[in-house]
Chains A and B, each alone.
Chain A
Amino acid sequence: MIRVELPPHLQTLARVGGEVILEVSGPVTPRAVLDALEARYPVLRGTIRDHVTLQRRPFVRVFACARDWSHEPPDSPLPAAIASGAEPLLVVGAIAGG
C-alpha cells in the first residue's frame, strides 16, 4: 500500500480528499507510483508529468520522508517507509508563481 498526498487543486480535480491509497507492483519508484496514480485517476495525466515527455512539470515537487525527491531518477527506489505505507509520498505545488 502506497500513500500519496496530493496538493489541494489536484485533490479537487481527482475528486478525492486527503491521501490517495495505491497499490504498486514491483519496485516502488517515483515512476511506478505516478504510473499507478495516473492509471487510477486518469484526469491527473498531464498535471504532474508532461503528457508527452513524462517529465515532471517544473512547478511540481515530490517529497519523501522529509527529503526532496524531485530531481532523483524516476526509477530510483523510494525509501522503505514510503514503500511500506508508513509515510506518504508528497506531491507539492512549488511556492513559486502566482
Chain B
Amino acid sequence: MSTVRVLVGTRKGAFILAADGKRQRWDVRGPFFAGWEIYHMKGSPADPNRLYASQTSAWFGQIIQRSCDGGASWEAPGGGPEKSADGMPRGESNKFAYDTTPPTGKPLTTHQWYDGTQHPWEFKRVWHLEPSLSDPDVVYAGVEDAALFRSSDGGTTWQELAGLRGHGSGPQWQPGAGGMCLHTILLDPSDPRRMFVAISAAGAFKTEDAGATWRPINRGLQSKYIPNPAAEVGHCVHRLALNRARPRVLFMQKHWDVMRSDDAGESWREVSGNLPTDFGFVIDVHAHEPDTIYVVPIKSDSEHYPLDGQLRVYRSRGGGGEWEALTKGLPQRDCYVNVLRDAMAVDSLDRCGVYFGTTGGQVYASADSGDTWNAIVRDLPPVLSVEVQTLP
C-alpha cells in the first residue's frame, strides 16, 4: 500500500508526519532543528528519500539541510562526506551571495523600500526550496530579498539566476508585510526550460530558457496598493499553483483576488466568484482533477484569520467562479488562525488527500478531496509550510 509523508516546517522546528494510504493513523516525528525556523521542506520527485530543508534564524542566518534517507538523518550539504581529519564538516552550504558580476550584476542594485525610497538588496532567508523533477542534486531556492538561486550539487553551493532580478524592473519591487520574498517556484513538467516564480510584492515571472532570462506575467492583475493598479510589476502575488497534467493553466491567490490563467501566465482573469472574501494566502490544485482547486479565504489584509471565526476551505470544481465551503471536521467557532502561503499541499493517491497547516499549530488532513477533515496534530508551533510526498 502506498504511504504518505507530510513535511511540516514551523517557527520552532520541523516535523515529519507519516501514514499509510488510509491516512488515519499518523506517526509524528520531530522536532528536527529544534528552535530554528523551518521555512520549507521538500522532497525530490526523482528520489523521494532526498529531502531539503530551509533552516533559518534571525540571529544566525541561513542553513540548508539535506537528508538522503527520508528524514531519518540530516546534514548541512557542505558537511557531508568530505570531513576534516578530526571529523568536522569541511564545507559550507549557507552562502547565498547575490550576483554582482559585471555581465549580469550591474542592474541588481536596489529595490523599492516600504516608504517608496530605494533600498539595497540584502539576503535574509530561503523561503522555498524546489527540487528538480528529474535530478535529486538540482534544487532551486527562492529567497528574501527576492531572488532565485540554483544548486546543482545537492545544496552544497548556490548560484543566483541573476536574469530574474536583471531584467530591469527590480527598482519597482517592494516588500510585502512578510518581506520581499520569492516564495513560489513552479517547474513545468512538460518543458524543463519553463519555470514560473512569484514574488511579494512584484508579481509573477516566467522563464522559457531554464532561468537565463525572465519576464513579468501579470497582465490582468489589478492591485489598489500600487500607483498604477494594472502595472506590469508591483503586485503582491501570494501563491501560484498548477496541475502537472495541465501545466499551461495556472491559478493564483493574490493579496486580494483569486486568478486563473489559461495561457501559461500570459493573461489572467479573476475567478473569485462567490468566495466570501478573496483575500488569502494558499491555493492548490487537486492531483487528478485539474479544475478542482482549493483556497482558504482570510478576512482581510489586516485581519489575518477566517471570517466569523469559522475555518473553511473553499473548493471549486470548475476551475474557479463557483465555490463550495468545506467545513466537516474544521472548527466552526472561535477560530482565528491563519494559513500561510506555503502551508497547503495535496497527495497523489487515488482519492486525493489535501493538507494544510495553521499558525495555531494544527495540521489538518482530508483523505477524501476535502469533504471531511481531521487534525493530524493540533499543538505544533506556528506552521510555516506543508508539503506531501506520496510514496509507493
Q: Which residues of A contact B (CB under 8 A)?
A: 7-10, 13-15, 40-43, 45-48, 50-52, 57, 59-60, 93-94, 97-98
Contacts and interface: CB of A to CB of B under 8 A. Distances in A.
25 contacts: A9-B35, A9-B36, A9-B60, A42-B78, A42-B89, A42-B91, A42-B92, A43-B78, A43-B92, A43-B94, A45-B94, A46-B62, A46-B92, A46-B94, A46-B95, A47-B60, A47-B63, A51-B96, A51-B97, A57-B61, A59-B58, A59-B60, A60-B60, A93-B60, A97-B58
B11 to A, nearest CB: 7
A94 B90 contact: no
A57 B60 contact: yes
A42 B90 contact: yes
Interface in B47-89: 57-63, 76, 78-79, 88-89
A50 B96 CA distance: 10
Contacts of B89: 41-43
A42 to B, nearest CB: 5
B61 A47 contact: yes
Contact of A48 (B60, B78, B95): B60
Nearest to B94: A46
A14 B88 CA distance: 8
A60 B63 CA distance: 16
Contacts of B60: 7, 9-10, 13, 47-48, 57, 59-60, 93
Contact of B79 (A43, A52, A93): A43
Contacts of A97: 58-59
A45 B97 CA distance: 13
A94 to B, nearest CB: 7
Contacts of A41: 88-89
Contacts of A15: 88
Nearest to A14: B88
Nearest to A97: B58
Nearest to B65: A13
B90 to A, nearest CB: 6
A61 to B, nearest CB: 10
Given A8-B35, A46-B92, A57-B61, 5 more contacts: A7-B59, A40-B88, A47-B60, A47-B63, A47-B94
A25 to B, nearest CB: 18
Nearest to A60: B59
Contact of B61 (A42, A46, A94): A46
Interface string B1-37: 0000000000100000000000000000000000110
B91 A9 contact: no
Contact of A94 (B59, B79, B91, B96): B59
A97 B11 CA distance: 12
Nearest to B12: A98
A41 B35 CA distance: 21
A63 B76 CA distance: 28
A59 B76 CA distance: 22
B57 A9 contact: yes
B39 to A, nearest CB: 14
B11 A9 contact: no
Contacts of A50: 61
A42 B79 CA distance: 8
A98 B57 contact: no
Contacts of A10: 60
A39 to B, nearest CB: 10
Contacts of B97: 51-52
Contacts of B62: 46
